[in-house]
Structure 1
Amino acid sequence: MKTRLLAYASGAVLIGIGLLGIVRDLDDPVGWAVWFAGVVVAHDAVLMPAVLAAGALTGRLPDAYRRGAQVALAMAAVVSLVALPLVLGKGRRADNPSQLPLSYGWNLLVVLAVIAAAFGLPALWRRNRQAAAVAVWALLVAGSFLVGDRLRRAGVATEDALPPLHAEGRLLTWQLLPAVLVAGAAVAALPVLSRRLPWTWTLLAAWATSALWAVSLAMSDGWDALAGPLNAPTEYPAGIAAVGDDPLAWTRTFTEKLGGYTTHVRGHPPLPTLLLWGLDAAGAHGTGWSAALIIAAGSSAVVAVALTVRTLAGEETARRVVPFLALAPFAVWIATSMDAFFMGVGAWAVALVAVGARRGSLTVAAGGGLLLGTLPYLSYGLLPLFAVPAVVLLLTRPRVRVLAAIGCGAVIVPLAFTLAGFWWLDGVEATHATYLISRGSAQRPYAYFAVANLAVLGLLVGPAVAHALPAALGDLRGGLKHLGTPAAAAALLAGAGLLGTLALDASGVTRGEVERIWLPYAAWVVVAAARHREPARGPLAAQAVTAVLVQALVLSPW
């Protein structure tokens, strides 16, 4: 009682001080009276009913959500009241653009969304982890595009028209009808086919579906869209002429002449250009043949990943993941990006290592090692992908002679390039120097793309993988203790792909354009979708819808 009286007395003193100030300093008592009356009316007629209504509504929520919702609403109300003058532009002057220069309405929406996510997602996670993971996926993707647009308008991220993607916005409708038909047929048939067909036929059906899915998406821009990306003056085929008739001399002088080559040639080791040069020298002229090779190799990654999962986690797990691999949203960039070829080579390298290690076959193991050795000479960004074969070796624990076969195969390509005059470390240094000089990707903001790149990975693997991640993470924790279970093996493969992505992302050399760069990693992250129970047509349809929406709304140079 004494405390309450003391509080009343203190309040009365403060009110008295306020009234004294009004009497002594107020020049317009009528205006003040109107303002005061307006405050009273706003409080009693607007604010209090709103608070009571919010209290009544939140009171109906379950206990797990009620307190968080009440705190979030209170914080949102305070922030909105403080920001309201800025949103209304009070104090903005046309003759002084530096005064209130920002888009405060959009900024307020971002802050309100952060408040809602901060209080809503933990509660949702406690109740339904899968739904919370999909919500995080959606917020991460939407937030990355929203923040990217604000940065672009502010002149901070100007390299891309649609950050975090290196693309432009557009709208396709009826052009996507073939892709929609392919998706519908695949969603209906793939779960049945992957369960009933003999294993070899399952792999062939998955490869065919993956290739058809990628081609049908690309053809929404016309037949030319299959080879069109390779016709750009920045791509590898534009640099083939520089190789001439002496590929050894070109390889020997590759580093010292790097600045004179096309963008993608100087951004990578010499092997991709040499492969396309060899294709042309063999009589397969034109980018159409190159596109066919890339699409065939990229879509074959579905087979290689499924074969690896079967070897390590069993056929049942592999059959569950096959539909998600074949209908993955990353198909948008299989036709046609050279990174899809890298994805195929990387996947087959891991698959051969897995099969060779499990069966003790020295020939197969050496073949896997040979392909592993090509990866650093296809792209400098493939080095973190070695986390995946490391997991394979951890799970299979092969004999020393198998490890020796893998090692012998792995040194062939590096040795050949070194003898030809190309030293890999010099190539890395020269490429990094041209990267800094060109002021292209290097001027993209690191902090934004470090987060937004993960949103792009989310687009590539789709919401079905996000839905499965909580269970896969549980399997991963268990897998560190019990390596022999199928769920643990699948989770470790997906975790290795994700770990490689995070390492490359943190390095800062992949600021943007990761929709193609992440392809070799995304194929392994999709393995997490094996946690879905068959037939899983709902999650599979969500994957197809994601790919169709991306193709409909995004015009990518690849």
Structure 2
Amino acid sequence: MATDELERQRPRPAPPGRACSYGRIAVAAWAVLVTGAFVVGDVLRRAGLATEDELPPLHAAPRLLTWQIVPAACLGGVAVAVLPSLARRLTWRVLLPVSWAASMAWTVALALSDGLDALHRPLDAPTEYPAGLDAVRADGPAEWLRTFSERLGGYTTHVRGHPPLPTLLLWALEETGLRGTGWSSALIIVTGTSAVVAVAVTVRHVAGEPLARRALPFLVLAPLTLWIATAMDAFFLGVGAWATALTAIAARRGSLLAAAGAGLLLGTLPYLSYGLLPLFALPLAVVILTRPSRRVLAVVVCCAAVVPLAFTIGGFWWPDGVAATHETYVISRGSAQRSYAYFAIANIAVLGLLVGPATAHALPEMFSRRRPLAWLVGAALVGLLALDVSGVTKGEVERIWVPYAAWVVLASAQHDPPARRWLAVQAGLTLALQALVHSHW
């Protein structure tokens, strides 16, 4: 890319005094919101009004790690030191796999501070998807799918709370010979961390390579990394991110193959999680920004219908699944009984933890001017807020927000490189959360 083109795409800074002031106010608001959510949550817990959670608004418990966090801290320090330089100097084709590898290493290092079995232990819980695979084996996948909504009440918590595709994917993985939660965990981590590449590719196609390079270190070190290993929502993040990235590639290059891939992945989203429906705001923002040809749009739309059509023919009617899941949710003693008023606000505080203060500092400047990055961040926030207001996400959003939060982190690309101070803050918050909070995911 020519130097004059790089200069043209480089964000023009706002007046230093005003930008700094707004950023400090945003970070102060972030700190008050996060602190207030934990203080009020503790009051509600003591009064018996915040059910199930030991550390509301997180579905987690307090703890203290000491020497166990040291390896991850060392890796985090190295990442803060070298990632900005790599993002600036490496060629694009080399930078992407390096960033992916860095994200995987950081994710695994954080998880291993909980022990050698930490990468698969969350999936061994009796509430998780693997515990529900016996029903698929007993009935066969076709019969299990056909009767999924009718028999939903007898399945494990996560199977009940989602459409059938995640369970079928893990069943298919085992059928290939990759049995056990270790392989399931590997699938989740590899797919989830690949979102770093997919998000950067999207930014490059809609906002230019300089911003994509600036965003990569923040994407790698975002605190949401804590919930990549091994919540299934990290897999949803990867699928949604690649669907959006392929949409951007198809729009800019006119590639019908990329359009077909984008459509197929988009079609899977409602069948992976009911909460992913608002994520369609992101590919829609890409379409608005790039204005693809009618032929590309037609291929995306047609291919997006393939998965819904296949599930419908197989006997699963998506609205029936929504209704059945909502019914089991209402009669449960858990999240349905939590305070709507508290979690409507506390859920936003959890988003603040996932994206970190560096993102909060950058948001005011980003939204003060019209630019493609603001469209992507705004689309993610709109989708996330729609879920929050709906009331179906009362707690446990540290994993549910992951497919949305990665896009909000893009605001951090506003920081002038190398931005090591802000990267250190992000890594430090991640390490503090890992050391002080024992998550069930």
- TM normalised by structure 2 equals 0.95
Q: Per-residue deviation at 1:429? A: 0.3
- 2:220 pairs, out of 315, 321, 326, with 326
The corresponding residue for 1:135 is: 28
Would the aligned equivalents of 1:209 and 1:327 in 2 still touch at CA under 8 Å?
Answer: no
- 2:334 pairs, out of 435, 440, 445, with 440
Would the aligned equivalents of 1:125 and 1:132 in 2 still touch at CA under 8 Å?
Answer: no
The corresponding residue for 1:490 is: 373
What is the rounded CA distance, in whole Å, between the counterparts of 1:126 and 1:413 in structure 2? 46
Amino acid at match of 1:304: A
The corresponding residue for 1:198 is: 91
Q: Per-residue deviation at 1:141? A: 0.5
Determine whether 1:458 maps to 2:341. Answer: no
Q: Per-residue deviation at 1:542? A: 0.6
The corresponding residue for 2:144 is: 250
Q: Per-residue deviation at 1:458? A: 0.5
What is the rounded CA distance, in whole Å, between the counterparts of 1:326 and 1:520 in structure 2? 14
Would the aligned equivalents of 2:223 and 2:429 in 1 still touch at CA under 8 Å?
Answer: yes
Q: Per-residue deviation at 1:507? A: 0.4
- 1:514 pairs, out of 379, 397, 419, with 397
Would the aligned equivalents of 2:51 and 2:334 in 1 still touch at CA under 8 Å?
Answer: no
The corresponding residue for 1:543 is: 426
Once the two structures are superposed, residues 175-200 of structure 1 have per-residue CA deviations (whole angstroms, 9 ceiling, x without a partner) of 00111011000000000000000101
Would the aligned equivalents of 2:100 and 2:194 in 1 still touch at CA under 8 Å?
Answer: yes
The corresponding residue for 2:129 is: 236
The corresponding residue for 1:52 is: none
Secondary structure in 2 aligned to 1:492? helix
Amino acid at match of 1:447: A
- 2:178 pairs, out of 284, 294, 311, with 284
Would the aligned equivalents of 1:375 and 1:382 in 2 still touch at CA under 8 Å?
Answer: yes
What is the rounded CA distance, in whole Å, between the counterparts of 1:544 and 1:356 in structure 2? 34
Secondary structure in 2 aligned to 1:128? helix
Q: Per-residue deviation at 1:325? A: 0.3
Q: Where do 1:42-441 residues align within 5 Å?
A: 128-244=21-137, 246-441=140-335
Determine whether 1:501 maps to 2:387. Answer: no
Q: Per-residue deviation at 1:223? A: 1.1
Q: Per-residue deviation at 1:439? A: 2.5
What is the rounded CA distance, in whole Å, between the counterparts of 2:128 and 2:146 in structure 1? 21
What is the rounded CA distance, in whole Å, between the counterparts of 1:546 and 1:295 in structure 2? 21
Percent same amino acid at aligned positions?
A: 67
Q: Per-residue deviation at 1:158? A: 2.5
Amino acid at match of 2:420: R
What is the rounded CA distance, in whole Å, between the counterparts of 1:126 and 1:523 in structure 2? 23
Would the aligned equivalents of 1:125 and 1:131 in 2 still touch at CA under 8 Å?
Answer: no
Q: Per-residue deviation at 1:214? A: 0.8
The corresponding residue for 1:11 is: none
- Name which structure has the greater RCO, CA cutoff 8 Å, separation 6+: 2
Sort the Cα spacing of 1:311 and 1:374 in 2 relative to 1 into closer, same or farther, 3 A: same
Q: Which runs of 4+ in 1 moved over 6 A?
A: 124-127
Structure (1 or 2) with the larger CA radius of gyration: 1
Secondary structure in 1 aligned to 2:174? helix
Once the two structures are superposed, residues 86-119 of structure 1 have per-residue CA deviations (whole angstroms, 9 ceiling, x without a partner) of xxxxxxxxxxxxxxxxxxxxxxxxxxxxxxxxxx
Q: Per-residue deviation at 1:127? A: 7.4
Once the two structures are superposed, residues 288-309 of structure 1 have per-residue CA deviations (whole angstroms, 9 ceiling, x without a partner) of 0000000000000000000000
What is the rounded CA distance, in whole Å, between the counterparts of 2:332 and 2:397 in structure 1? 18
Amino acid at match of 1:166: H
What is the rounded CA distance, in whole Å, between the counterparts of 1:432 and 1:268 in structure 2? 10
Would the aligned equivalents of 2:132 and 2:155 in 1 still touch at CA under 8 Å?
Answer: yes
The corresponding residue for 2:8 is: none
Q: Per-residue deviation at 1:126? A: 9.5
Q: Which segments of 5 or more consecutive residues in structure 2 lack a partner in the other structure?
A: 1-16
The corresponding residue for 1:31 is: none
What is the rounded CA distance, in whole Å, between the counterparts of 1:263 and 1:329 in structure 2? 26
Once the two structures are superposed, residues 18-46 of structure 1 have per-residue CA deviations (whole angstroms, 9 ceiling, x without a partner) of xxxxxxxxxxxxxxxxxxxxxxxxxxxxx
Once the two structures are superposed, residues 381-427 of structure 1 have per-residue CA deviations (whole angstroms, 9 ceiling, x without a partner) of 00011110110000011111111000011001000000000000000
Paired residues, number: 424
Secondary structure in 2 aligned to 1:552? helix
Amino acid at match of 1:318: A
Q: Per-residue deviation at 1:159? A: 1.8
The corresponding residue for 1:100 is: none
Amino acid at match of 2:408: V
Secondary structure in 2 aligned to 1:285? coil
Amino acid at match of 1:555: H
The corresponding residue for 1:45 is: none
RMSD value over aligned CA atoms? 1.1
What is the rounded CA distance, in whole Å, between the counterparts of 1:158 and 1:364 in structure 2? 45
The corresponding residue for 1:472 is: 366
- TM normalised by structure 1 equals 0.75
Q: Which segments of 5 or more consecutive residues in structure 1 lack a partner in the other structure?
A: 1-123, 480-487
Sort the Cα spacing of 1:146 and 1:125 in 2 relative to 1 into closer, same or farther, 3 A: farther
The corresponding residue for 2:3 is: none
